[in-house]
Structure 1
């Protein structure tokens, strides 16, 4: 009996047809291309990940046991059976990780273990119990939105978060704790709820797709496509990994028996025509045990402003795409249209799968004008904090730019460029703060980012915008750290000039009012850059940097030709 209509998703499937031989062959070709694109890691590297997780489980058990000994030293049974449970989430849990991928990891513990205990014991236990030299770059961030310990273990990047389970004083044997049980959310604070959410959402996604292997291969393809097209970065205003996963999962529900190649093709066909802001949902909204907010645009006005809502399937349901702006939505839709055209031609045999994964042209062809948002710090540690904050606010600047009548699109690039510079005096320091790469500690002959001033009838003015009531940063010493985020501008038709001084000053003042901003450590500059003045390091080997039209040279050549005649 066919039960797909009742089983998968909130609507009946569009088709339950089995793959044709041509679709099966196309899936084989897709798999071969993804292997050529190096999206799969070796079996040896995968085994190393598994060993790392086993080590983390061993350390988590010892962590809980030590807390039990400290808090109830007379309770022998509690101490004997004390254990934690390590879960993964994100790409590793979904089974779509590749070379260099990090492992998003969650440590859970019984109710008597607190977050303070986690940060008191776990970092030192990592150093104590891991093999010598295995753990490097250990950083604990207790006051983050989701408190986290970051480190590398045998060269694999680990993001380790924590939550207790307030309803359990003793955990069941390993492998038997099911975090999708809503009862485990009782008694937790907001940070603990956020920590549990990643694993709960990832597990729900896997439970809600008809065929996990089909889903995983299709998701690998969509992730690679989104990364190559520079539309993969939640913090900047594009979908992140979990959003692309939910969108692919929804297509799998609509075609429960299709091959992965068909899912990829149907993904573009369906998502390019999706009736936003109708939400993408994998299941109907759950009721839960908590008095917490769940996504509901009929009740919460702010939820109705979400442009492309994709709703997490685990309670409490939330919109995972609240960061998307009008500009990033426009870019996503353009790319979905492009992807549909390409996959249609691939299906018809006119193109190959490799054509879907061509790299973006953000720097080489897409824009004439850019804003460079340059976060500067005096120390490496200060820069991690400051640049991370500025990155999280770039989407706010994009939103302000979108409201300028002369701007059609403000498109942020999906990653920042980190650079280190060495300077000798205040003048060189100021030059670096304002975009110069002349003192970068690498072989780099790039010219300074320069101001756009009345070129081709369009004037862009931001460089001289001043930030008021903020102390001038003193000399930054011999070494300076910068991270630059680029925002590509598309001007509205007929635009002749563009004064962004107000938007720039507003953004700089907002960042400078952050409670952790320190004028002696941090600096923020926003400069305009023409495409011909972009630094060399944003171009990869084989890419051609835009050049200024050689009008004068062409005219001289014509004149010489006429003289010869």
Structure 2
């Protein structure tokens, strides 16, 4: 296995891209970066750090008292009672050393075989915590994929998991990094242990922990500012960003954080997804019967768009939530970061430019608004958690039913209207996929998609009356004011930012290109029409004006709320398909039976309409009016064109019927993976699901009717 030699220790699965050390300018730029991160408040003070340590010490005392109580209650012998022990471990951002002020602490309680999860952890320990005056906001979640208890201890937020090991006694020096710790462990224990094991492994696999931490703080802050920090929304969460940064640290082991941040964007702009990001070789591990990520054996693993593999056994894809739309958005953000870092090297940009917040509500002309309400605070908390976990399904369904032509950009956070208690809203930007041919009059019908989504959400096992969800279309000018800082809508679009300048450049470029095309086409049309005794060249412009007027009249007189989704301006080109030796030599036909062309799919039904209800029943800010907007408003909307990266449409081959050829490829070092990376795989989009008639939950019907249509002619398509 190729690896990095650094102080006698090996890092990574490939040779580094560069072993070069920092220059004087790198030292200065890194100091500027560290000061910037300090100034924006990413580091906690000493007083808070001490308080966290005290809280963890108190929690350790609590679980040790708890295990003695459980052991005594179960009548075990005096020796086991004397030796009874439980131990607290930390993981996540706190263990990595990149947590900020007010961040919660991810903790794991490890207990012996006789302390059960259901009866003792969510029983006796929960009771003990509920009776402690120092504990507030106690919320047990026993049915979660990874069961946990959330609470505050002396004001510090704690997420506490439990691992029940098949041991009679938990030693104080227990090493959970050993794979043998998983032997005979139940599935929930394996998942609970995974966080600690992965975190510790990351720290072992980076050449310089301090440089890793500073770079990770930088990238986490950048991702949050750019709206791509959210695992549940289909972007990347904390562990994903940690793994991506760790790989860059391996590729540039002697670089300082300013260079690591720059190279982060350079590498991942050119990364050939779905090649996986790996920090170490993917060993089979011990024969414990645990499934590891392996697209050669597991058909579901071939569906993953952006595999980022955890380094601890069992190796898993930590980014399975990523969809085609969110991958496109993140790729576009990587390209933006790369461009800015190059501008910084030329002293044409600074850290402020890189960390400019993404103007989500200026980026698109059309949005979906998802409103949820509940009867009380506790119900809203549960309802929010459930709906948030399902929102990704709406994105996937829209992608599927429009054959990836209509793309969604989910906002990673919810918004609350202070004038409406027990209510919150989520938003998704909508745009047509760049580069897809536009057919005049083509429409997107997503009624069934939204109905399916709402039906799935309303199947919540803990649903009670009062839990409601409403999905509606809104135009950019109708975005509710409570989403803006201070509840005040900006009077004009952001100006002077990197994004606004790029949009202006692309508008000028697009206008010039369109003008050239128009002149050429007009000349050709004039020549051909004059030969045939047709109209004069000016008739083409008249026809275009006539078509525009016809479209405006249709919008004004339409019986439905029409959402036109034009092709948005596109910033930047497609990413370079290679990045040196870190993800090259893909095997494109590995999962396509040697077929390189995508399968031809029947076109979907042309229209999805959410019909407009009676005027008196239309809720405020739910539906944009069908009246034609003023010229000033249209010009304002046109100034907000925003482009993102394009993800190539791929073949749709059912995983169940795909025949996997024998895998024989090896690299120069004998690894079955090209340069330490799994071969490039064709990703199989999910097939059209069968729609079954199910009785819908009795609930007030949202009065939204929606129709997506293209402005093909007006865009010159």
TM-score for the superposition, normalised by structure 2: 0.65
Aligned to 2:518: none
User: Quick check: 1:99 aligned with 2:101?
Assistant: yes
Q: Distance in 2 between matches of 1:409 and 1:393?
A: 17
What secondary structure, in the 3-state scheme, does the structure 1 residue paired with 2:307 have? coil
1:516 Cα deviation after fit: 2.8
Q: Distance in 2 between matches of 1:552 and 1:248?
A: 45
Structure number with greater CO (CA < 8 Å, separation at least 6) is 2
Q: Distance in 2 between matches of 1:305 and 1:77?
A: 52
Q: Distance in 1 between matches of 2:404 and 2:164?
A: 51
Aligned to 1:184: 181
Query: Alpha-carbon deviations, 1:325-376, whole Å to 9, x = none?
Result: 110000000000001111122233222212211111111x101111112222
Aligned to 1:164: 164
Q: Which of these residues, 179, 195, 205, is aligned with residue 198 of structure 1?
A: 195
Contact 2:417 2:482 in 1 (8 A): no
User: Quick check: 1:506 aligned with 2:457?
Assistant: no
1:56 Cα deviation after fit: 0.6
Gap change, CA 1:552 and 1:32, over 3 Å in 2: closer
Q: Distance in 1 between matches of 2:387 and 2:468?
A: 10
Contact 2:295 2:302 in 1 (8 A): yes
Aligned to 1:477: none
Alignment of 1:362-381 (within 5 A): 362-363=360-361, 365-381=362-378
User: Quick check: 1:538 aligned with 2:483?
Assistant: yes
Q: Distance in 2 between matches of 1:279 and 1:180?
A: 23
Aligned to 1:254: 251
1:149 Cα deviation after fit: 0.8
Aligned-CA RMSD value: 2.2
Query: Alpha-carbon deviations, 1:291-346, whole Å to 9, x = none?
Result: 02110001011101111100011111111111111100000000000011111222
Aligned to 1:440: 420
User: Quick check: 1:340 aligned with 2:320?
Assistant: no
Aligned to 2:631: 551
Q: Distance in 2 between matches of 1:103 and 1:348?
A: 40
Q: Which of these residues, 28, 37, 41, is aligned with residue 34 of structure 1?
A: 37
Q: Distance in 2 between matches of 1:536 and 1:146?
A: 37
Query: Alpha-carbon deviations, 1:222-262, whole Å to 9, x = none?
Result: 00000000000001100101000000000000111111111
User: Mean alpha-carbon deviation: is it higher for 282-291 or for 91-100?
Assistant: 282-291
Q: Which of these residues, 482, 486, 489, is aligned with residue 427 of structure 2?
A: 486
Which structure 1 segments of 5+ residues have no match? Answer: 421-438, 442-480, 556-565
Q: Which of these residues, 264, 269, 292, is aligned with residue 267 of structure 1?
A: 264
What secondary structure, in the 3-state scheme, does the structure 1 residue paired with 2:270 have? coil
1:407 Cα deviation after fit: 4.4
Aligned to 1:136: 136
User: Quick check: 1:46 aligned with 2:46?
Assistant: no
1:152 Cα deviation after fit: 1.3
1:546 Cα deviation after fit: 6.3
Which structure 2 segments of 5+ residues have no match? Answer: 494-627, 636-717
Q: Distance in 2 between matches of 1:71 and 1:406?
A: 57
1:550 Cα deviation after fit: 5.4
Aligned to 2:471: 526
Q: Which of these residues, 319, 322, 328, is aligned with residue 321 of structure 1?
A: 319
Q: Distance in 1 between matches of 2:239 and 2:404?
A: 34
1:189 Cα deviation after fit: 1.5
Query: Alpha-carbon deviations, 1:102-138, whole Å to 9, x = none?
Result: 111111112221102111111222244x5x3x21111
User: Mean alpha-carbon deviation: is it higher for 323-332 or for 156-165?
Assistant: 156-165
Alignment of 1:114-153 (within 5 A): 114-115=116-117, 116-128=119-131, 130=132, 132=133, 134-153=134-153
1:536 Cα deviation after fit: 1.4
1:68 Cα deviation after fit: 1.3
Aligned to 2:306: 308
Q: Distance in 2 between matches of 1:36 and 1:359?
A: 16
Give the total of aligned pairs: 488
Query: Alpha-carbon deviations, 1:24-78, whole Å to 9, x = none?
Result: 11110100000111111111111111111111111011111111111234x2222
Q: Distance in 1 between matches of 2:470 and 2:12?
A: 47
Q: Distance in 2 between matches of 1:19 and 1:199?
A: 32
Gap change, CA 1:315 and 1:102, over 3 Å in 2: same
User: Mean alpha-carbon deviation: is it higher for 193-202 or for 148-157?
Assistant: 148-157
Q: Distance in 2 between matches of 1:297 and 1:366?
A: 36
Q: Distance in 2 between matches of 1:323 and 1:60?
A: 34
Q: Distance in 1 between matches of 2:231 and 2:64?
A: 33
User: Quick check: 1:23 aligned with 2:26?
Assistant: yes
Larger radius of gyration: 2
Query: Alpha-carbon deviations, 1:500-540, whole Å to 9, x = none?
Result: 2111111111222333333x232221111111111112112
Gap change, CA 1:155 and 1:260, over 3 Å in 2: same
Q: Distance in 2 between matches of 1:347 and 1:99?
A: 31
Q: Distance in 2 between matches of 1:552 and 1:232?
A: 35
Q: Distance in 1 between matches of 2:50 and 2:633?
A: 60
1:289 Cα deviation after fit: 3.6
Aligned to 2:12: 9
Gap change, CA 1:354 and 1:198, over 3 Å in 2: same
User: Mean alpha-carbon deviation: is it higher for 83-92 or for 283-292?
Assistant: 283-292
Q: Distance in 2 between matches of 1:153 and 1:554?
A: 53
Q: Which of these residues, 380, 384, 395, is aligned with residue 383 of structure 1?
A: 380
Contact 2:481 2:489 in 1 (8 A): no
Q: Distance in 1 between matches of 2:429 and 2:227?
A: 12
1:406 Cα deviation after fit: 8.8
TM-score for the superposition, normalised by structure 1: 0.82
Q: Distance in 1 between matches of 2:54 and 2:320?
A: 36
1:410 Cα deviation after fit: 0.6
